[in-house]
């Protein structure tokens, strides 16, 4: 395979959808592009399912531009998530369907439809965000950190001491990073070009990760207390950096004031906050059986009032001055409100978002959903997700080459089989580029375009091994480049820019190696991140432009992010590349300007484009924007 068939195209971007923020009852015009040399079509229609009843609209041909024939159809938004797909009827009688999973000659499922979302939209700044994730204990110590007493649960460690991967050090090794330490290094973030800081939990707890909160209403004094968070957010905002926090809506810690009030006390009002399984309130449900993380029962109206609903809730407290956070990432969002035959997840996420809108609508809400996220990403609450199967997992499978270096598990067992997102698959699977694209398509097909743009595009995180642990140095630019150029929110886990490694989630929580910035390896990696973050920030098409794959083979992918103003052509190849794109697949190659990478793009006399590169390569070019025929006033609205 050299080039995929040149096929009809539609996505959720502004080129193809007249508005990204429809309301119920609005008429939205959607557009389909068909290659001019595609077999003749007798009719083009859309199929929607408002109220789960089929509804059809007829598309009208708008005209032809740059090798495409454009069709436009009207759709009236009847539901908050209004799905639709395209029907193409050929003159020959052949029928094709187009949805987010691709083109099919078989009738397609509603689950993979394109979708218009009539829920309140996220703030515009989300689309321009490049996120930087910080694990506070390991980022930086201010001078004040030396005055903080060592807590009773902690195993003290010096900054240059290796991370202890074995329990109890795994969760109790304490380096003493604090919020003022982060504030003192904000200029590092400015230098990278990131504009969104994500802090893992800052609440008091009995672990280094702080996902076992003992309170949700104050900042851990070990991090500097409330005033340190206020100073950090103010300093970040002064530098154009927004800040989001991390909440555990699935559980609290067993030291939490609510849980302690209810434990062994059946009369306590907080007893309804948890799933106690005995009359004495001494046994209870917890996260994956971990007794230090008792699970919340979201059937409790009082829990909702205190935590997520209204101006006096925990959710609202931190979004208002003087703290002024810019949003939340919700830990274990996929399990929140779910236990056996109970499923209150939608109610929790919707109430949380409504409180955020009432408190400060210019905030974002991101869910941790580590596996297939499509069922919860309907646009009704979560703006996006920290999810791995739609990018990180297939990226690792394509680009990683494990060395079999031994490491220790939390139980102290030595392993050589590399960690792979907790899946018992015998290490990291091996994909080629085709499989990478197939996985990305499969796991984004059920997610509305607007929500997909809010998904965190992580190479790794505080819960995973570091990507660089198993990836050859020559593919790091491909991985970082793809995270910056595919649809979604790019994420940098603090330390990746220094080339840090770690065999699993806990081992990846390495103290930042401040003072090594000028060392050759670190300097080169820092420069790579700066350049690719700048690429993302300087080209709006990489934030909100459409996505069209123009070439996929075993070792290379080529795609274009398109808008009316500009298009960005991207190559990612693990080997030498010699690719020819037909004239209609890519227009404007003769006017391309190189943006990044050592690859050649040349326009042929027949209008084709040739891409040549040696060895593993990531490259990008800017091309002219897409010309869309002026829409007419044709087409009937559906009844």
User: In this predicted model, what pLDDT tens digit does every residue of 70-128 receive, in sequence order?
Assistant: 999 999 999 999 999 999 999 999 999 999 999 999 999 999 999 999 999 999 999 99
Confidence of residue 634 (pLDDT cuts 50, 70, 90): very low
Q: Which tens digit of pLDDT belongs to each residue from 349-404? A: 999 999 999 999 999 999 999 999 999 999 999 999 999 999 999 999 999 999 89
What is the arithmetic mean of pLDDT over 629-633?
66
User: What letters, b where the CB count within 10 A reaches 16 and e where it falls short, cover 258-297?
Assistant: bbbebbeeeebebbebbbbeeeebeebbbbeeeebbbbbb
Confidence of residue 58 (pLDDT cuts 50, 70, 90): very high
**pLDDT for the residue numbered 1:** 29
Q: Supply the DSSP symbol for 570.
A: E
Residue 3 confidence (pLDDT) above 90? no
Give the sign of the dihedral formed by CA 574, CA 575, CA 576, CA 577: negative
**pLDDT for the residue numbered 632:** 54
**pLDDT for the residue numbered 294:** 98
Confidence of residue 631 (pLDDT cuts 50, 70, 90): low
Token pair listed for 156: 């003290």
Distance CA 314, CA 337 (A): 17
**pLDDT for the residue numbered 4:** 43
Query: How much of the chain, in percent, has pLDDT values that exceed 90?
Result: 95
Whether the CB-CB separation of 547 and 559 falls below 8 Å is answered with yes
Q: Provide the H-helix boundaries in 161-221.
A: 169-172, 179-184, 186-192
Q: Provide the H-helix boundaries in 278-344.
A: 301-307, 314-317
Whether the CB-CB separation of 427 and 418 falls below 8 Å is answered with yes
Confidence of residue 602 (pLDDT cuts 50, 70, 90): very high
Token pair listed for 477: 């630019």
Whether the CB-CB separation of 500 and 461 falls below 8 Å is answered with no
Identify the architecture of domain 130-250+296-538 in CATH. Answer: Alpha-Beta Barrel (3.20)
**pLDDT for the residue numbered 12:** 98
Residues with a catalytic annotation lie at 331, 368
Which residues, in sequence order, are bridge partners of residue 367?
330, 385
What is the arithmetic mean of pLDDT over 477-503?
98
Mean pLDDT for the chain overall: 96
Whether the CB-CB separation of 415 and 427 falls below 8 Å is answered with no
Higher-confidence position of 149 and 291: 291
Q: Which CATH class is domain 547-624?
A: mainly beta
**pLDDT for the residue numbered 584:** 81
Q: Which tens digit of pLDDT belongs to each residue from 258-277? A: 999 999 999 999 999 999 99
Q: Which CATH class is domain 27-117?
A: mainly beta
So where are the chain's domains? 27-117, 130-250+296-538, 547-624
Range from 14-23, 142-151, 317-326 carrying the lowest mean pLDDT:
142-151
Confidence of residue 587 (pLDDT cuts 50, 70, 90): confident
Alpha carbon 321 to its chain's center:
27
User: What letters, b where the CB count within 10 A reaches 16 and e where it falls short, cover 186-220?
Assistant: bebbeebbbbbbbbbbbbbbbbbbbbbbbbbeebb
Q: CA of 622: how far to CAs of 58, 358, 565, 568, 596, in Å? A: 35, 40, 10, 5, 10
Q: Which tens digit of pLDDT belongs to each residue from 610-621? A: 999 999 999 999
Confidence of residue 5 (pLDDT cuts 50, 70, 90): low
Residue 557 confidence (pLDDT) above 60? yes
Which residues, in sequence order, are bridge partners of residue 551?
558
Token pair listed for 313: 């809730």
Q: Do domains 27-117 and 547-624 have the same CATH topology?
A: yes
What is the arithmetic mean of pLDDT over 596-606?
95
pTM check: above 0.85: yes
User: Which phi-psi region, left, alpha or beta, contains residue 240 (left: φ > 0; alpha: ψ -120 to 50)?
Assistant: left
Residue 433 CB coordination number (10 Å):
22
Query: How much of the chain, in percent, has pLDDT values that exceed 70?
Result: 98
């Amino acid at each position: 395979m050299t080039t995929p068939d040149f096929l009809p195209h539609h996505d959720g971007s502004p080129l193809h959808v007249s508005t990204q923020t429809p309301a119920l009852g609005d008429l939205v015009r959607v557009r389909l592009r068909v290659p001019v040399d595609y077999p003749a079509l007798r009719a083009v229609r859309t199929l929607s399912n408002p109220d789960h009843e089929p509804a059809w609209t007829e598309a009208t041909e708008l005209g032809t531009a740059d090798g495409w024939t454009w069709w436009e159809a009207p759709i009236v938004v009847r539901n908050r998530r209004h799905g639709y797909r395209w029907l193409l009827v050929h003159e020959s009688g052949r029928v094709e369907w187009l949805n987010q999973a691709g083109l099919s000659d078989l009738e397609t499922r509603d689950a993979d439809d394109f979708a218009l979302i009539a829920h309140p939209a996220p703030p515009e700044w989300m689309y321009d965000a490049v996120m930087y994730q910080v694990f506070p204990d390991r980022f930086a110590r201010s001078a004040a950190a030396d005055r903080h007493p060592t807590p009773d649960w902690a195993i003290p460690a010096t900054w240059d001491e290796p991370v202890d991967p074995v329990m109890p050090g795994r969760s109790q090794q304490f380096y003493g990073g604090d919020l003022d330490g982060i504030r003192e290094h904000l200029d590092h973030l400015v230098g990278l070009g990131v504009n969104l800081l994500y802090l893992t939990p800052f609440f008091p707890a009995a672990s280094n990760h702080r996902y076992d909160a003992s309170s949700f209403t104050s900042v851990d004094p070990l991090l500097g207390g409330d005033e340190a968070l206020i100073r950090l957010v103010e300093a970040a905002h002064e530098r154009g950096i927004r800040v989001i926090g991390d909440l555990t809506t699935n559980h609290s810690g067993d030291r939490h004031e609510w849980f302690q009030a209810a434990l062994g006390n059946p009369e306590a009002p907080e007893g309804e906050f948890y799933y106690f399984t005995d009359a004495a309130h001494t046994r209870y449900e917890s996260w994956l059986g971990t007794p230090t993380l008792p699970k919340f029962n979201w059937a409790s109206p009082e829990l909702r009032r205190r935590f997520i609903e209204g101006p006096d809730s925990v959710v609202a407290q931190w979004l208002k001055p003087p703290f002024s956070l810019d949003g939340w990432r919700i830990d274990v969002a996929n399990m929140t409100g779910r236990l056996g035959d109970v499923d209150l997840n939608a109610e929790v996420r919707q109430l949380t978002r409504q409180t955020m809108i009432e408190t400060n609508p210019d905030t974002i809400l991101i869910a941790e959903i580590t596996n297939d996220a499509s069922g919860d990403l309907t646009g009704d609450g979560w703006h996006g997700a920290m999810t791995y199967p739609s990018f990180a997992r297939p990226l690792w499978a394509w680009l990683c080459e494990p060395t079999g270096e031994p490491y220790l598990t939390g139980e102290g067992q030595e392993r050589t089989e590399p960690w792979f997102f907790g899946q018992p698959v015998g290490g990291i699977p091996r994909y080629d580029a085709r499989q990478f694209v197939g996985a990305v398509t499969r796991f984004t097909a059920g997610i509305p375009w607007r929500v997909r743009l809010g998904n965190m595009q992580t190479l790794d995180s505080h819960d995973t091994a570091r990507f660089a642990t198993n990836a050859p140095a020559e593919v790091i630019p491909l991985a970082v480049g793809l995270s910056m150029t595919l649809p979604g929110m790019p994420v940098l886990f603090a330390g990746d820019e220094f080339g840090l490694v770690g065999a699993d989630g806990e081992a990846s929580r390495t103290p930042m190696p401040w003072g090594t910035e000028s060392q050759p390896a670190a300097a080169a990696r820092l420069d790579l991140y700066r350049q690719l973050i700048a690429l993302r920030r300087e080209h709006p098409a990489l934030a909100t432009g459409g996505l069209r794959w123009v070439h996929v083979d075993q070792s290379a992918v080529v795609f274009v992010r398109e808008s009316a103003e500009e298009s960005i052509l991207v190559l990612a190849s693990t080997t030498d590349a010699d690719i020819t794109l037909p004239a209609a697949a890519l227009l404007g190659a003769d006017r391309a300007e190189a943006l990044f990478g050592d690859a050649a793009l040349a326009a042929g006399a027949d209008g084709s484009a040739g891409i040549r590169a040696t060895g593993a390569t990531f490259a990008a070019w800017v091309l002219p924007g897409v010309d869309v025929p002026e829409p007419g006033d044709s087409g009937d609205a559906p009844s």
